[in-house]
Amino acid sequence: MSDVKILESVQQFIARHHGHFIHGECVATETSERIELVNPATEHVIASIATADQQDVEKAVQSAHNAFSNAWANTSPYERGLKLNKLADLVEQHAEELAQLETLTTGKLINLSRHLEVAQSIIFLRYFAGWATKINGQTMQPSIPSMHGEKYSAYTVRQPVGVVAGIVPWNFSLMIGIWKIGSALTTGCTIVLKPSEFTTLSLLRLAELAIEAGIPAGVINVVTGKGETGQYLIDSALVKKVSFTGSVPTGIAIGQQAMKNDLTRVSLELGGKNAAAILADVNIDEILPNLLQATFVHQGQVCAAPERFFIHQSKYDEFVQKASAVVQQLKIGSPLDEMTMFGPLSNRPHFEKVKHYLDLAQRNNQVITGGNALQTTGYFVEPTLLKVQGIDDPLFLEETFGPVVDVIAFETDEELITMMNHSRFGLTASVWTNDLAKAMRLIPQIEAGSIWVNMHTFLDPAVPFGGVKASGVGREFSDA
């Protein structure tokens, strides 16, 4: 097979001189500094984006504030839902265009961009649209003392907070951007998005589609740049909520800064060193395809993906042998080739980070299979299984956010829980077993925000998602 043909509309969009998207249109930056966007599979520069300074950010925030005050907060819930559904229609119509933009900038497999990123974006938009008319307060009878037999009633009203700052990572920029857009807009808020400097094109294109959908100018704004741009956004006095998805150190810094800024509300969905427990009763041949698919989707660059495998001693040798054989058969290649099974990492800094961990494992003789960066153009590494020297091994404690999985054996359920919880992270976990009663006993003991049984990494808009411990504050989706 060869690479899919790049659409003419994609070529034309990439070729533009990209600015920020403020008040319904692309605007030039106030600075001359630009950032090059690199295709991670070829290392070719495909476009450049603007760097927003404080003045650019304030223009975007002021636009969002004006749109909130003059238009969106006063739009009926029914109309908000209609416009979000119209945006979902347009995402569906432009699905291939958006998928190709994602693959070209993130290295995501084209089939993954189509059938997960874009397809799930549509589902999430429609889910949020449905909530627009279902956001209700409560009425209640309070228990304050009665002097003369009178009775009292109280009620609550849920109101939009105003301008939301949405800071989006590079791994699923379109989908995570839509999570933030959908939740903000359905509640009557407006938003200023700051995408990662590595992956901005799909959200710039989405902002254009929002205008076509009839969403008023200023309701969705996009400013591009590096960390300083995000800092300007967080510090704006008009920003009333910060929604961040990304690394733990950055999330902690954002949370601390938001608290200093008059206790600005925050939602922080951060990293994880997620655990998968393979119990003694499982059939390895049955679970392996689903487990490894969840592990190596998007080259492991998924915050919810498992990085630590805990395998019952009786199954350890069989699992390692069979998992190694499957991993070695993954076809590595161009993400635009529909037959490719494993693509590049998304950017050079992340490639260097993952390579550091692989080099460490090589020096310590911990590689079971894989363990190498490919000597070729592009940010390619091999999918890798590692044996660890114990639960305090740095490779077992530090998040790689890549296709690197650590395996370790356990004997008792008590040992398993102790080992699984020996982490500063607590985003997701999974238990693989045919013994549902045992799974239900283990789940309350596992320190993680989401726990699956016989599956991993799957998200649904009706189910709250977020972490405990250093993995975050707050929840995405549902009515949480």
The pLDDT tens digits for 168-203 are 999 999 999 999 999 999 999 999 999 999 999 999
**304, 223: one domain:** no
Q: How far apart are CA 99 and CA 92, in angstroms?
A: 11
**356, 456: one domain:** yes
In-domain check, residue 56: yes
In-domain check, residue 474: no
**339, 220: one domain:** no
Give the mean pLDDT of 138-166: 92
Give the mean pLDDT of 284-297: 97
**173, 200: one domain:** yes
At 45, is the secondary structure helix, strand, or coil? strand
SS (H, E, C) 306-353: EEEEEEEHHHHHHHHHHHHHHHHCCCECCCCECCCCECCCCCHHHHHH
Of 269, 289, 314, which marks where a domain is finished? 269
Of 269, 300, 320, which marks where a domain is finished? 269
Of 234, 269, 304, which marks where a domain is finished? 269
Tokens encoding 366: 């911990």
Give the mean pLDDT of 297-325: 98
- Name residue, tokens 């079971």: 368
Tens of pLDDT, residues 47-68: 999 999 999 999 999 999 999 9
**362, 284: one domain:** yes
- Is residue 243 predicted with pLDDT exceeding 80? yes
pLDDT-based confidence at 145, cuts 50/70/90? confident
- Is residue 1 predicted with pLDDT exceeding 70? no
In-domain check, residue 480: no
Q: Which pTM was predicted? A: 0.96
pLDDT-based confidence at 32, cuts 50/70/90? confident
Which of the residue ranges 31-35, 277-281, 408-412, 449-453 would you say has the lowest mean pLDDT?
31-35
pLDDT: which is higher, 384 or 145: 384
**131, 233: one domain:** yes
**127, 220: one domain:** yes
The pLDDT, as a whole number, for residue 28 is: 84
The pLDDT, as a whole number, for residue 29 is: 80
**244, 288: one domain:** no
Cβ atoms 396, 390 nearer than 8 A: yes
The pLDDT, as a whole number, for residue 303 is: 95
Cβ atoms 465, 449 nearer than 8 A: yes
Cβ atoms 300, 403 nearer than 8 A: yes
Q: Which residues contact 342 (CB under 8 A, 6 or more apart)?
A: 109, 296, 299, 330, 331, 332, 333, 383, 403
Tens of pLDDT, residues 10-19: 999 999 999 9
In-domain check, residue 145: no
**221, 310: one domain:** no
Residue 199: which domain range? 8-137+159-269
Q: What is the mean pLDDT of the chain?
A: 96
DSSP class of 44? -
In-domain check, residue 335: yes
CATH of the domain at 133: 3.40.605.10
Cβ atoms 42, 204 nearer than 8 A: no
Nearest to 107 by CA among 358, 351, 347: 347
The pLDDT, as a whole number, for residue 74 is: 87
In-domain check, residue 51: yes
First-to-last C-alpha distance (Å) of the chain: 44
Percent of the chain whose predicted confidence (pLDDT) is above 70 = 99
Domains of the chain: total = 2
**286, 255: one domain:** no
**228, 295: one domain:** no
Q: How far apart are CA 107 and CA 96, in angstroms?
A: 15
Tens of pLDDT, residues 37-51: 999 999 999 999 999
Q: Which residues contact 229 (CB under 8 A, 6 or more apart)?
A: 51, 52, 53, 56, 57, 194, 223
- Is residue 462 predicted with pLDDT exceeding 70? yes
Tokens encoding 11: 């070529």
For 247-277, the DSSP string reads -HHHHHHHHHHHHHTTS-EEEEE----EEEE
Q: Which residues are catalytic?
A: 269, 303
- Is residue 73 predicted with pLDDT exceeding 90? no
CATH of the domain at 400: 3.40.309.10
In-domain check, residue 467: no
The pairing of beta strand 265-269 with beta strand 274-278: unpaired
pLDDT-based confidence at 369, cuts 50/70/90? very high
Whole-angstrom CA distances from 100 to 5, 38, 112 are 9, 14, 11
In-domain check, residue 2: no
Residue 447 φ/ψ, nearest 5 degrees? -90, 85
Percent of the chain whose predicted confidence (pLDDT) is above 90 = 95
**231, 305: one domain:** no
